Amino acid sequence: MQGFLEYVVKGLVGHPDEVSVTSVERNGLMVYELRLDPSDIGKVVGRQGMTITAIRSLLQAGSGKKGFRSMVKIIEDENSDLSAEQESDSETVDS
């Protein structure tokens, strides 16, 4: 499933070399942590979350067929440019 997720996401993004998928098992649930370039997050999420919802649905169907549960999390790096922009936006709103 990890290979499938990596293949699909790399096909969507502008920086496929920056994509990394790690799997972590938590309480019988396989969590796939997706890290990618901050500028590509919107491409993976899609309009109103349609793209990530479709990816999650396919992953859950495949996992269910193999007899385990799974989940996808997009991990945003705290040092990324996107996080810095969000912080500056929140500071502007508070002023």
pLDDT in tens, 16-36: 999 999 999 988 899 999 999
Q: Where in the sequence is the domain holding 11, given as residue range(s)?
A: 2-94
Please answer whether residues 81 and 92 qualify as being in contact, where contact means their C-beta atoms are separated by less than 8 angstroms: no
pLDDT at 12: 93
Q: Mind listing the pLDDT tens digit of every residue in the chain (95 residues)?
A: 889 999 999 999 999 999 999 999 988 899 999 999 999 999 999 999 999 999 999 999 988 898 889 999 999 875 545 444 444 344 444 44
43's tokens: 């491409």
CA distance 92 to 65: 48
* pTM for the full predicted model: 0.73
Number of domains in the chain: 1
Query: In this structure, what CATH number is given to the domain that contains residue 44?
Result: 3.30.300.20
Q: Report the greatest alpha carbon distance in the chain.
A: 52
Query: Buried b / exposed e across 10-26, counting CB within 10 Å, b at 16+?
Result: beebeeeeebebeeeee
